[in-house]
Amino acid sequence: MLNHDISRDVLKTIEEKHIKPKPRWTFLLKDYAIWILGAFSLIVGSLAFSVIIYMLKNNDWEVYRHLSGSLPGFVVITMPYFWLIFLAIFTLAVHYNFKHTKTGYRYRLPAVIAASMVLSVVLGGILYGAGVGRAIDDVLSEKAPGFYRVIVNPRMDMWARPDQGFLLGLIIDAEGREDFRLLDFDRRLWDISAHDAKIPPFLKIEAGSRIKMIGDKTGENGFRALIIMPVGPGRGMLHHPGFMLGPGCPMDKMAPGDCMGPGFIK
């Protein structure tokens, strides 16, 4: 009798409020949307991991003693925290979307996150091998140099300390591999002496090359390089249109004289 009364009350409520069942396609659409968002989160996480691989592989490990007093200290100050946080956010987004699928409730949080991380690592490794991680870093550092330098990769400032023996910039003219001029982050010109420098054989010392150096400041605008390496992560900052104008040029437009035009940087 009780069940009958409950059923009658439910039917009465449906009739009074004109409640109609939702079409099946709305549930299918919601399910598809959840899977699409989950797949999107996984792809973005994989892209982030490809950049993490690129930054870690080009983290100047061979000169860490010059940049920091110890390996643990070097690791702490050079970890790509921005991309690690980015990866964590989208890994959690994968879990959130998966949890809202029809069968998602069956799986625990650690299992879903572990599976998401494994997929991100595998896909991220493939994307890194295809050069995607490097391309993302190049585009971001070129198109948003201020944000990149402060938020994404603050370790770039480690190479902008000429008084402490660290200098990074763009070669604007060179007389062989031992004497050349360099434009640094602040668009300041330096006369570089590299007679005793260790230079990788593959690195071209010529106008347009982007390099970083360890050495000694020898004067107001002089620098003696002892170690010269190519710029890896962040090299797009030296390709930014405002930087390419060179010294003595307005940042908002090209000007005659010693301004460098597009295509100068290699």
Question: How do residues 168-177 score in pLDDT, each as one tens digit?
Answer: 999 988 888 8
Confidence of residue 225 (pLDDT cuts 50, 70, 90): very high
Asked whether residue 170 falls in the same domain as residue 218, the answer is yes
CATH code assigned at 169: 2.40.50.140
The encoded tokens of residue 14 equal: 């449906």
Question: Are 123 and 164 in a shared domain?
Answer: no
> Quick check: 222 pLDDT over 50?
yes
User: Is 258 a member of any domain?
Assistant: no
Q: How far apart are the first and last CA of the chain?
A: 85
Nearest to 165 by CA among 61, 63, 36: 63
Q: What are phi and psi of 108, to 5 degrees?
A: -80, 160
The residue with tokens 């572990």 is: 114
The pTM (predicted TM-score) of the whole model is 0.78
Sheet strands (E) in the chain:
166-175, 179-184, 189-193, 210-217, 222-230
Among the ranges given (39-48, 105-114, 142-151, 153-162), the one the predictor scored with the smallest mean pLDDT: 105-114
Domain span including residue 55: 24-130
How far apart are alpha carbons 138 and 17 in whole angstroms?
A: 59
Residue predicted with more confidence, 122 or 240: 122
Write down which residue in 79, 108, 130 finishes a domain.
130
Q: How many CB atoms lie within 10 A of CB 106?
A: 9
My answer on whether 112 and 186 are in the same domain is no
Determine, yes or no, domain membership for 38.
yes
Q: Are residues 123 and 174 in the same domain?
A: no
156, 67 Cβ separation under 8 angstroms = no
Q: Are residues 118 and 167 in the same domain?
A: no
Count of domains in the chain?
2
Q: For residues 126 and 164, state if they share a domain.
A: no
257 has pLDDT over 50: no
Residue-wise pLDDT for 52-88, tens only, equals 999 999 999 999 999 887 899 999 999 999 999 988 8
Return the CA Rg of the chain: 28
Q: Which of 92, 109, 130 is the last residue of a domain?
A: 130
> What does the chain come to in residues?
266
